[in-house]
Chain A
Amino acid sequence: MQLGADTRGVRRRLVAATCALLTASATRSQATPRASIDEMLSDWRLDSALAYYHEDGRIQAIEPVVSVSRDFGDGETLDLNFTFDSLTGSSPNGALPSRKPQTFASPSGTSLMLAHHSYTTAPGELPVDPHYHDQRFALGADWTLPLTRLTRVTVGGKFSDEHDFLSVTADASIAHDFNDKNTTVSLGLFDENDSLSPIGGAPVPLSDYALFEKTGHKSKNGAGVLLSVTQVMTRTWLTEFNLSADRFTGYLNDPYKIISVIDDGGDTVGYVYENRPQSRTRRSAYLENRVGWERASAALSLRYMSDSWGVHSATAQLNLRQWNAERDKYLEPTARWYRQTAADFYTPWLLNSAGPDVTVASSDSRLGAFRALTYGLKFGMKLNDKFGRDDSELNLRVEYYQQTVESAVPGPGSLQGLDLYPSLKAVLLEIGFSY
């Protein structure tokens, strides 16, 4: 290097080269902050998903979910999650289709004439409120603290806020490991307190829809217990068996659902607001089996539930995940089968002649008897080399959900020939990213 040449330039290029080296190493150490010491210490994990749910002719929803969890290295973990829902579209108001057009006022109206919105349903159509929109914002946190190497306590809470519904839930559970952590038994309790402030006020149960008799706020609360036993069967097979029971009391109605009142000829002569019992007790048994092979894994879960409203349901779900040779991409087909019987007080309509002895009744299709099938496929891709973490992943999921009504009672008179129980078809698209 001859002197006198532009040696000042040397310093500049030298500084640039040094910066390139150190920033490269610094960013690498940023990517895995304490690179040399605890390269593998995944103290922070991010799980996020953006779901788009679309029903055929009814509502659609966008739901981003973000969950951040911190592992403090000795079994102590903290998980914070955030969910936001935005729903729009048309929601069935519970009334029957009819031979004649039907006009309804949206919930915010005080009478048919003075309704902010009113909507008219064409003959033969299922009455749905097309102005339905709702936004929900929910925060949750779960903190697990190890008491000993074999025992840990988890406390959690959830807060969910919509314009007409506020829910606060707290839960706590204790888990203990037996025989070399092969068996884990955990017992958990939860307590939920909800306050409802329906748009236009909570309707007087079973009151005449046309009178718009509305009262103020309502509340309901629930408590429950969950006993869970997780057992390692073999090196590649894990089983979980849960028993849970919960009891909800208070205002359990859906303030926006009405029931058509029909005459013997099947013609709708009016509507009344629904009314459900003031309490509900549920018991459920749940069994999940997971099996893992070299480049695949399968999960079969079964659930049986029955409640004091006379609803019995059975659920079965199967997930099969198959990885590729390099084990960095996978396909996961899923299938779910669900069947429930109707609530005792479920009725698609009320007969005008039935008179006042009806105390509880609801035409909400969610309390009817139906079968539901879900088919889904998930594609996942590991991103480990980009982020220096061995379990960061990007995934896409699509699910098709269909409900078909069972033991549908044909309508009398003019209702014959009308599709009183249209089935629900929906699709869920979800993109997920975890780091």
Chain B
Amino acid sequence: MKNPGQSHVPRQTQLILDLTSARVQVRARSGGNPTHATRTGLLGTFIAWTCCLIAPAHASAPLDLDALRGRVVYLDFWASWCAPCRQSFPWMQAMKNTYERQGLTVITVNLDHDRADAERFLRRFHPDFAVQFDPQGTLAEHFKVTGMPTSVIIDRHGIARFTHIGFRPADREAYTMQVQELLAEK
């Protein structure tokens, strides 16, 4: 019922961020300095994923990262009681919707002590990215989570390239840039 009427984009428009394409056409300076983003690059933490079939005790399905080889994985550890974790949800949803077709997979690991709290939160948010449950914190131990939330951005070869502790609204642009960078790598 809808035919898309395109609006004219006046000549002097400067396209600054086209989320539709993989590459950022105009390199936008990231807003604030990325919070405590430890750029772990190739030389950084080198967590080999060869063995990577990690089977946390209570997770509904083992976190099989090897199956995701070739895709960029945004792995986020969160809990329902943690305010910055809640703030990151809309943004993670947006990232999944935008970059899923370009190869991004968002996986979140819930670390709530009892699952009812997590379920209550998820009912309000309807996120459509994966949520693993890890009440014992097995995965959190494995990834040495030291703060909440902790997000690990893993490149197509399974190497953790960036690790972030905490989530500030101002971090969104910086994290988006890093995801796009890894998406662009083959």
Q: Which residues of A contact B (CB under 8 A)?
A: 36-42, 71, 73-74, 149, 180-181, 235
Contacts and interface: CB of A to CB of B under 8 A. Distances in A.
Contact of A149 (B165, B169, B170): B165
Given A73-B169, A74-B168, A149-B166, A38 B90 contact: yes
A73 B87 contact: yes
A37 B87 CA distance: 7
Q: Is the interface of A mostly helix, strand, loop or mixed?
A: loop
Contacts of A38: 87, 90, 169
Interface in B129-172: 146-147, 165-166, 168-170
A71 B113 CA distance: 26
Contact of A73 (B90, B124, B147, B168): B168
B36 A73 contact: no
A159 to B, nearest CB: 31
Given A39-B90, A40-B83, A42-B83, A235 B113 contact: yes
Interface string B20-51: 00000000000000011000000000000000
A383 to B, nearest CB: 17
B36 A41 contact: no
Contacts of B165: 149
Contacts of A180: 146
A42 B84 CA distance: 10
A37 B90 contact: yes
Contacts of A73: 84, 87, 168-169
B86 interface: yes
A315 B167 CA distance: 41
Contacts of A71: 83
Given A39-B86, A41-B169, A149-B166, 19 more contacts: A37-B90, A38-B87, A38-B90, A38-B169, A39-B124, A40-B83, A40-B86, A40-B87, A41-B83, A41-B87, A71-B83, A73-B87, A73-B169, A74-B35, A74-B166, A74-B168, A149-B36, A149-B165, A235-B113
A285 to B, nearest CB: 32
B83 A149 contact: no
A74 B90 CA distance: 17
A292 B1 CA distance: 56
A243 B24 CA distance: 55
A36 B83 contact: no
A29 to B, nearest CB: 13
14 contacts: A37-B169, A38-B169, A39-B124, A40-B83, A40-B86, A40-B87, A42-B83, A73-B84, A73-B87, A74-B170, A149-B147, A149-B166, A181-B147, A235-B113
B15 to A, nearest CB: 23
Contacts of A41: 83, 86-87, 169
Contacts of B113: 235
The 8 residue pairs across chains A and B that have the minimum distance between CB atoms: A40-B86, A74-B168, A38-B87, A73-B168, A37-B90, A41-B87, A149-B36, A73-B169
A180 B144 CA distance: 11
B170 to A, nearest CB: 8
Contacts of B168: 73-74
A290 to B, nearest CB: 16
Contacts of A40: 83, 86-87
Contacts of B35: 74
Contacts of A181: 147
B128 to A, nearest CB: 15
A235 B91 CA distance: 30
A173 B36 CA distance: 23
Nearest to A72: B168
A262 B83 CA distance: 66
A36, A41, A180: most-surrounded residue (chain B CB, <10 A): A41
A235 B111 CA distance: 14
B150 to A, nearest CB: 11
B75 to A, nearest CB: 20
A149 B147 CA distance: 9
B91 to A, nearest CB: 8
A435 B47 CA distance: 44
B83, B91, B170: most-surrounded residue (chain A CB, <10 A): B83
Contacts of A74: 35, 166, 168, 170
A36 B165 CA distance: 23
A135 B166 CA distance: 45
Nearest to B171: A74
A282 to B, nearest CB: 37
Contacts of B170: 74
Contacts of A235: 113
A293 B87 CA distance: 27
A72 B146 CA distance: 21
A36, A71, A74: most-surrounded residue (chain B CB, <10 A): A74
Contacts of B166: 74, 149
A249 to B, nearest CB: 44
B171 to A, nearest CB: 9
Contacts of B169: 37-38, 41, 73
A41 B90 CA distance: 11
A410 to B, nearest CB: 59
Contacts of A149: 36, 147, 165-166
